[in-house]
A and B are shown apart, each in its own frame.
Chain A
Amino acid sequence: KNQVEQSPQSLIILEGKNCTLQCNYTVSPFSNLRWYKQDTGRGPVSLTIMTFSENTKSNGRYTATLDADTKQSSLHITASQLSDSASYICVVSGGGGFKTIFGAGTRLFVKA
């Protein structure tokens, strides 16, 4: 069964600290993996997209990694800011019929 699991479900960190969000998937065959940031009441905004051959991708303070062998990805946020408070969603495309599978998201709270 094609699934995407994210951890932790929620996370609270202090402003300026780093954090890492995890994404494990069982989608096969694999096409690509994307990380999105979704502010409350807004649509998701793309942070990174990675295909099978890419191990890491950065977008400012966001760095995503992908291990296609273990089917794991992480999103590392450096020097967190209050505006980083949002839900971060891992999305994997692939599987029979080229499905797009959404993770449940990690809700990040950055406190001053």
Chain B
Amino acid sequence: GAVVSQHPSWVICKSGTSVKIECRSLDFQATTMFWYRQFPKQSLMLMATSNEGSKATYEQGVEKDKFLINHASLTLSTLTVTSAHPEDSSFYICSAREKVRQGRRYEQYFGPGTRLTVT
């Protein structure tokens, strides 16, 4: 199956600093990438959807100036948590949807996640 990678897999940062998380589709072109946040024992919560070359669409309640998303190419999207605070500590997961091709199923592949801890 298709592979989505995330880097770093875990990060610890101090309050007030910014952290960048990368999401890459390794063997396919992803026209759409999604960023999710997951708190312990809860389901994934969609933060934003980004299409290559255009601005991300943020879900209600997600601050676009705090969570900067860049989808510069068909294989890379980045999420930058600016001025991080302890309440931003969470598990961040990206997902990529393959460019639709005739005969191919619609599929969404998830990365392994990034554990962010803000101290």
Whether B43 pairs with A102 at a CB distance below 8 angstroms is yes
- Report whether over half of chain A's contact residues are helix, strand or loop; otherwise say mixed: strand
How many residues on the A side are at the interface (Cβ–Cβ under 8 A)?
A: 21
Whether A32 pairs with B106 at a CB distance below 8 angstroms is yes
A105 to B43, CA, bound (A): 6
Q: 8 Å CB contacts to B: which residues of A24-74?
A: 31-32, 34, 36, 41-46, 49, 51
Residues of B within 8 A of A49 (CB): 105-107
B103 at interface by CB-CB < 8 Å? no
CB distance from B43 to the nearest CB of A (A): 5
B17 at interface by CB-CB < 8 Å? no
How many residues on the B side are at the interface (Cβ–Cβ under 8 A)?
A: 22
Residue from A89, A91, A93, A102 whose CB has the most chain B CB atoms within 10 Å? A102
Residues of B within 8 A of A22 (CB): none
Pull 16 A–B residue pairs with CB atoms less than 8 Å apart, ordered by A: A32-B106, A34-B108, A36-B110, A41-B113, A43-B93, A43-B112, A46-B1, A46-B110, A49-B105, A49-B107, A51-B105, A89-B44, A93-B106, A102-B43, A104-B43, A105-B43
Which residues of B pack against A, CB within 8 Å? 1, 4, 6, 34, 41-44, 46, 91, 93, 95, 105-113, 115
